[in-house]
Amino acid sequence: MARVFITGSSDGIGLHAAQRLIEKGHRVTLHARNEDRAADTRSAAPGAEEVLIADLRSISAIKQLADDANATGTFDAIIHNAGIGYGGTSSRETTSDGISAVFSVNTLAPYILTCLMEKPKSRILFMSSDSHYGGDETLKKCTTSHSYGNSKLHDVMLANAFARRWSDVQSVSMHPGWVRTKMGGAAPGTTDEPAKVLAEWAVGEGSMAKLPSGAFFTTSGQEQAHSGAGNVQKQEELLSICKEVSGVEVSTTLSTMSKETYGFATKKGVDWSKYTQFRPAYPKSYFDDIFNYHSRKPEAGLSVVHDVGAGAGIASAGLAQRFDKVIVSDPNEVYVSAARQNLIQESGLPESQFVFLKETAEASSVEAGSVDFITACESILYTDVAVAFEEFHRQLRPGGTFMVSYYTRPPILGNETAAQAWNSLFQILSGKTERHASPGCGSC
C-alpha cells in the first residue's frame, strides 16, 4: 500500500482524493489550516493516518509542517494541493512575512515543503490551473503579487525545476478543471473526476502515472503548458527568489542522493573524494586563450556560456570568471549535484550565476539563440556527435563559439583527408598544445 501526503485536504478535491485512497487501503496523511478544520477532516476521513495542521500563510508554519511530515516517515507520493486566490478564496492579504498570501500558499509552501521534506519515493504533484496561461513569466514583483494566475504558473515551473533535478521521481503539474468547490464556486463540474484521476496517479495507476516527468495534464491527458514554464533560466530564478524569501534552498549535498553513485559509465562507480582530488585542473592560460579567441569576434557576447558534460564543474569554475551566466549540464544526476556542491558550497560562487541542468547534449532545454559560448571538455566522445552538433548550433547566438578539448590528441577515423589535415594542424600547434597538456588539458 502507498503512503500519500496531500496538502489542502480538509475539503474539495484533496479530501475527495484522500477518501478514495483510504477506501482502497492506502495510508494517507492529510493537512488542514487550523484545529477546527482538522477536526472536520478527521470526521470526513476517519481512516486517515494523520491530519497535520499548518497555516501556509506563515513561513515558520510551513517549515514546521515539513518537520511534522518527516516525523511520520517517507511518502511514496506528495500532492501539493493547497491553494487560494480564486473565487471564494480570493485574497489581497499581505502576510506577517511581508509577502502576498497567495504567493505564500500557492508558490512558497510547495517550494519549502519539497526542499525540506524527504524526497518522495515515486512521484510529486504541484496543483496548477488553466489560469496559469495568463501568468507572468517575468517574475516581476512576484512575491507581492496577489495574482492567482501567476502563482499557478509558478507551480508548473516548480514541477519542471524538480523534474530536472530528480531523475527517479515523476514531478508533474495538473489542472483539475472548473469544479464545484470553495474555490470553484457554482462551477458546472464536480470533484469526482479530478479526485479519481489524482488518486490513481498517486499510487501509480492510470495513464497520468506514465507521463514524462515535467508534464502538465488535465483529467483528459497531457496538455501543452504556458511557454514560459519551460524556460530553465526563469525556473532557476524562481527557485532563487523562493530561497531568498524563505531562507530554504534545494538540497545539493551528495549525502541526500542514492549511495549508488555513478561515473562516466553507468556500470562503474566513482570515489568522488579521489576524483576531485586527482582530476587535472585547467590552467589560467587555458581560459585566457579561449577567451581571447572568442572576444576577437565582432559579434561575440560574454553573457552566457554552456559547459556541456560538465561533470563536477571543474571547467565551469574558470568559465564563471569570464561570463555573466554559466549553464552547467550533464546527463548524470550525481555529477550535476557534485558540480553544484563544488561551485557554490565549496568555492563560494554566487548561485545566481549558475543554471544546473540534468540533461543530455543531444536534447537540451536551453533556449535557442541564447548562448555565447559552448564548451565540451573531455565529453564530446560520449555524445552522438552529429545530433549534438545540431543542438549546439541551435543554442548559439551569431558570433558564438563552440570549443572541444581533450586531455590528449583525439584521432579522426573514417576520413583520411580530414585526418591528414588534423595531423598537420596538430604539428603546427603542438608547442601550444603541449603547454596546455602538461597541467592537464590540450585545447584545439
Give catalytic residues, as residue numbers: 148, 152
- Whether the CB-CB separation of 103 and 143 falls below 8 Å is answered with yes
Q: Locate cell 488535465: which residue? A: 218
DSSP 369-411: T-EEEEEEES-GGGS-HHHHHHHHHHHEEEEEEEEEEESSPPP
Report the alpha-carbon angle 256-257-263, nearest 5.
145
Comparing CA positions, the residue from 146, 202, 137, 144 lying closest to residue 174 is: 202
- Whether the CB-CB separation of 159 and 173 falls below 8 Å is answered with yes
DSSP state of 269: -
Strands (E), 57-106: 77-80
Helix, strand and coil in the chain, % to nearest 5 = 45, 15, 40
- Whether the CB-CB separation of 128 and 173 falls below 8 Å is answered with yes
- Residue 374 has phi, psi (to 5 degrees) of -120, 130
> Rounded CA gap, 156 and 174, in Å?
8
Q: Where are the alpha helices (DSSP H) in 72-166?
A: 101-103, 109-116, 148-165
Edge-first strand order for the sheet with 325-330 is 354-358, 325-330, 304-308, 371-377, 396-406, 442-443
> Rounded CA gap, 77 and 172, in Å?
11
- Whether the CB-CB separation of 89 and 66 falls below 8 Å is answered with no
Q: Locate cell 563552440: which residue? A: 402
> Rounded CA gap, 150 and 199, in Å?
26
With residue 129 as reference, give the H or E element that holds it. none
> Rounded CA gap, 320 and 108, in Å?
29
> Rounded CA gap, 174 and 232, in Å?
19
